[in-house]
Structure 1
Amino acid sequence: MPLSQLDLLLEEGLSSDPPLVIVPGQGIEKDERDIVRAKLRRRGLPESMLMDLPLPTLLHRHEVHKHNPENVLIAGLRKVDDQLFRATLRISDRQEMVLDHATGSHVTGMVIQEAVRQMTLAVGERHLLAPLDTARRFVISSLQTTFHKFLLPLPTQVEYTVEELKRKGPNRLRFRGRCDLLQADVLAASGSMDVMVIDGQRADQIEADHIRVTTRALAELYAEKQGVSEHLTLGQGAAS
């Protein structure tokens, strides 16, 4: 039930036997839990009705390549063995894809795809690459997602399995893996990413060369269609 309907829930459940227990789901963070406790106090109900489920620690935003910490979806990342890694999905109501994507009661496919991306990057950053002072860039070759059933805004485990790993140096790597999202040990969605990690300066040079070639080709095409001999192309840099 959404937080907005909690008052109705309390009204209907006051005489329940056994006593009502409120279990916080996805998006019910510290501030929302304080709101629930306040509602219970106003009705003279014990705050213990709210199950005190711990909130796993979110990963650092740099590990999942995000600027805003509220957009981090992966928490409690841990290594099981050299190929298997586990974490918890943790969604804030202020997460960018939750704010701007209307849907039903389930977690949207865009959020699931972003969770696959973040889990893959986090495993690479924390467990597959050595800490280095030089910049490096993750280049995605492919990203595939499969939805097996609706993923609900409830506790969700994220498992990542490394399926292929090729090292070409301390700052060069290519890896591919499978990411599974499970609820009650049942697979709800899965994804796979093929990622290449290269030196940051090398990546910037490749991107600059591509910008120059593509911009010139498009400008010449535009000039030919418009019958002009001189042109200036303006653009806004894309977010990394």
Structure 2
Amino acid sequence: MGETHVWVVGDCFARFTGNENVMTTSEVSRWVRSHAEPDVRGVVLHPALGVDRTMWRELARTVSRAGLEQVVLPEGAPAEPVGRHTVLKQQQDNVLIGEPHVSGNEVAGALLVPNDTEMLRDHTADQQHIPGMLLIEAVTQLITWAVGETVPPIADGTPRYAVMHHLRTEFHRFVFPLPAVLRARLTRDGEATDERVPLTARVDIEQAERVTTVCEIELNAFDPNAVFTVEAGQAAKTVRHTTPLEGVAA
């Protein structure tokens, strides 16, 4: 008989294991530890979303300790996430893109969903699919990374700062906790100055060879000092022109 191929998802996606040949990392570990007789068919494990490289290595060690490495085969590895600073995140667990690369005018990267990201913990809907808000955040992170990699920095070498001012999103299909790819194309959209480079972008999220999500974006790649000055000025004006509501403590 042939091999059985199993997708391994993080425990945060336990609801998705109602589908055939899908197990969580905890379920696989329990199954391996209790498996007295090797399955002659063989089982090939593939990493899906919610599984990082540390978890995948630990799963491989569990298989090895059980003496099943000849019949239970962890294959491949989860994508390596980018550093949190490159996508302006405070916590590494909130990084949602892995191994991005530039090819011509296209930027592509893997969708990552850490098992313990707060963006899943705080989502109240059933988690068989990836929440739309998380997909939009992944798109934003890819564009942020792409601006830092593809748009020339300001004169002193400081990377430019991506600021979106228009976002249109179409959700065509649910995205499930299986491998998915983001593909972005950035286009210059007007005359560049030292202060800003105007851009448009389209980002497609693809899964199972189908486009699930399309985002159309207008943005500027700013000199960080310039945009922070604008932000500070607008903040001061907003404070001056906002009247406290009656009965609400200032």
Q: 1:94 — aligned with what? A: 116
Question: Separation in 1 of the partners of 2:211 and 2:160?
Answer: 33
Q: Which residue of 2 aligns with 1:122?
A: 145
Aligned to 1:160: 184
Quote the Cα distance in structure 2 between the aligned partners of 1:6 and 1:135. 43
Residues 136 and 171 in structure 1, CA contact (< 8 A), matched pair in contact too: no
Match for 1:107: what amino acid?
Answer: I
2:213 equivalent among 153, 178, 189: 189
Deviation sequence 1:95-152 (CA, Å, 0-9, x none): 2312322432221112111111011111111112336445754322022222211212
Structure-2-length-normalised TM-score = 0.76
- In the TM superposition, 1:58-207 aligns within 5 A as 58-81=81-104, 83-102=105-124, 103-130=126-153, 132-134=156-158, 136-207=160-231
Report what 1:55 is aligned to: 78
Partner of 2:27, secondary structure, is: helix
Q: What does residue 63 of structure 2 align with?
A: 40
- Contact 1:120/1:193, CA 8 A, preserved across alignment: no
Q: Secondary structure at the match of 1:161?
A: strand
Give, in whole Å, the separation in 1 of the partners of 2:117 and 2:143.
19
User: Do the aligned partners of 2:197 and 2:220 also contact (CA within 8 Å) in 1?
Assistant: yes
Where 1:44 maps in the other structure, the secondary structure is: coil
- Which segments of 5 or more consecutive residues in structure 1 lack a partner in the other structure? 227-231, 234-240
Q: Is the 8 A contact 2:81 2:96 kept in 1?
A: yes
Percentage identity across aligned positions? 22
Classify 1:39/1:59 alpha carbon distance in 2 versus 1 (closer, same or farther; 3 Å).
Answer: closer
Q: Is the 8 A contact 2:147 2:160 kept in 1?
A: no
Instruction: Please give the alpha-carbon distance, in whole angstroms, between the structure 2 residues aligned to 1:48 and 1:126.
Output: 42
Tell me the distance in 1 between the aligned counterparts of 2:153 and 2:230. 23
Equivalent-residue separation in structure 2 for 1:59 and 1:161 (angstroms): 19
AA of the residue aligned to 1:125: G
Checking the alignment, whether the CA contact within 8 Å between 2:189 and 2:199 is kept in structure 1 is: yes
Where does residue 237 of structure 1 map in the other structure?
none
Consecutive unaligned residues in structure 2, runs of 5 or more: 1-22
State the Cα distance separating 1:159 from its structure 2 match: 0.6
Closer, same or farther: CA 170–61 of 1 in aligned 2, 3 Å: farther
- Whether the aligned pair in 1 keeps the contact of 2:84 and 2:92 (CA below 8 Å) is yes
Residues 167 and 215 of structure 2 are in contact (CA less than 8 Å); yes or no, is this contact kept in structure 1? yes
CA-atom RMSD, angstroms? 2.9
Q: CA deviation at 1:177?
A: 0.8
Asked which structure has the greater CA Rg, the reply is 1
Distance 2:42 2:83 in 1: 39
Q: How does 1:7-22 map to 2 (within 5 A)?
A: 18-22=41-45
Helix, strand or coil: the match of 1:205? helix
- Is 1:3 the equivalent of 2:25? yes
Q: In structure 1, what is the equivalent of residue 54 of structure 2?
A: 31
Q: Secondary structure in 2 aligned to 1:104?
A: coil
CA 1:57–1:5 in structure 2 vs 1: closer, same or farther (change >3 Å)? closer
Separation in structure 2 between the aligned mates of residue 176 and residue 79 of structure 1, nearest angstrom: 17
* CA distance in 2: counterparts of 1:25 and 1:195, whole angstroms: 32
Give the paired residue count: 224
Is the CA contact (8 Å cut-off) linking 1:141 and 1:194 kept in structure 2?
A: yes
